[in-house]
A and B are shown apart, each in its own frame.
Chain A
Amino acid sequence: MDDLAPRTETRPMTQLPILEVQGVTKRFAFGAEQITALSDASLRIGKGEFICLIGPSGCGKSTLLRMVAGFETATAGSLLMWGKPIAGPGPDRGMVFQDYGLFPWLTVAQNVGFGPAARGRPKAEVAATAKRFVDMVGLTRFADAYPHQLSGGMQQRVAIARVLANDAEVVLMDEPFGALDAMTRERLQEELLEVWARAKLTVLFVTHAIEEAIFLSDRIVVMSPGPGRIVADEQVMLPRPRDPTSPEFNALRRRFAAMLGGHH
């Protein structure tokens, strides 16, 4: 599953998008009924973009993310990464879950080194990689701790480090900070932006919090339920770092709140 193709630094800007969603529809059987979770969604994502999918529950944002991850297949339409159809989960698209999904029997360092180890990298390399990314998320002192000994914020740092240590090009995040307290959430948002800028990641981030979306993203994709669909796709032009108390930020907040209508 190794991506041996050259990374985009060598690709001209007009080249392929890293991710492309073309007319994707997802229907679930719900008893005898068919539920349309997502209807005819299309999206082009460039390398290095930070994109938030925002919308109320039932708008299909998580379904779309899970299809990009390869956990679900589309009923119609196609999902492409570097122009190739997504056939299933793979290490090029790392997922960060709201409930962390860490392996409880492994230490922090072993969780972070899990991907490289599973793909048969030599032991010394796995250990070095694990150490580098454990250090990067500031958990050096907890390298030998088990997940149940950590706070939620620390566990989510491990989950992020685990995906980065595995060389994921795209990081998919499903309301990753939704279960954390406000202070921890803000700190992790800032840390995530730092890592994103440094590692030139592409991030697809699902949230239902408008402020979080404006604070983080280059682009906000607004979705709406019944059936789930994309209703707006807007660039966020505010300079970084962003100040959530600024008038410009507030103006955007009002704009997106209006777009999301009665749901917020």
Chain B
Amino acid sequence: MNPALKRIFFVIICTFITVSTKAQTAEDSLVTGLTKRDGSTAISGYGEFKFNYDLRYKTGTANMTRAVLFVGHRFNKRVSLVSELELEDAKIEGGEAGGEFNLEQLYLRFNLNASHYLTAGLFIPRIGIINENHLPTTFNGNDRPYTEKLVIPSTWREMGIGFYGTSSRITGLSYSAALINGLNASKFESESGIRAGRQGGKMATATNLAITGSLVYNTGDLRAGISAYYGGSTGLSKREADSLLLDNGVFSTPVILTEANITFSKPLFTLKTLGAVISIPDAEKLNRAYAGNTASMMFGGYFEAGINLLHAFKHKGEQKLDLFARAEIINLNAELPDNGISNEINEKTFFITGLQYFPAKGVVIKADYTLRNTGEPNNDLIINPFPEALPYYKSNGFFNIGAGYSF
């Protein structure tokens, strides 16, 4: 080997060993050094991948859905950094659809005391269940609940400041509030609700703001939560807003989201339900300005039941085998303004059932079947009808098999 190459190789190996040792030492210190260990760094992560088969079109896709790397750093007992870097769909290539490389979170956390802290930066507000708790080992099925994707646009993160706390007087009560940048209504789409209006910390308009708040109460095996979001959706200057006949202001053209959820968990079984409603009173103005066919009301909800089969058969150990079923109903054009166009394709129901096997803690293998039913698509809204486009099936089934990890 060329001596120069040897030297470079040696330096790389030494650097790798040094960094690895430091990372290990730092991570260990978070676990074992409980006091006076500032400047320590922790690394963890999660990811998931799946094979999907469309039973109508007879097509299959295999996708590395996401891999997330968590890096946390503790500056001192008061201040720490939380960051999550996410790669979706394995890679990003210019000119091709799909793939995303993003910061899922990056915020500074300031501990006020042992039960209260502030966050500042890009973070995920506590709305619903999945938005905050979306690790693949914590939800049933290869896909997250559709209600928490299409109505609550998880994973929904914005720039802002947040306050989190747990009550020391009421056992099991926790609360949060946040002031974040609002949504961008110019990107709202009929078939995905407010999802495309998320800004995710990328040059977000911040002259429109939003406030969110949540209450979560845990008692025994029951967890009940409620949350609300109220935020302006047009971060425009007065001149721009006037030209589009829109209002301007911090909370102008508001989006209002309210949500409630209940989870009941026993070692043998889990029951879960969630409902969410979005109201956009000025949807008519948005449609006049952006022609996004935005609804003035959308809603969704689901009910899920799961049973731990190995527990049912008295199996002891860290392995688990869960059987679950979930039913969802979603309507993204529940109410339309006068200038809205109804499209029944936005009225969807889902039924998902499947098995989840946990061979070790932190690893899950998933297999599920999803039945999706929708209303009739509005032919007036189809730009390239059949035979240019594939036929649309109101009822379709999907088989998914995949795996996830979290450490």
Q: Do A and B originate from a single complex?
A: no
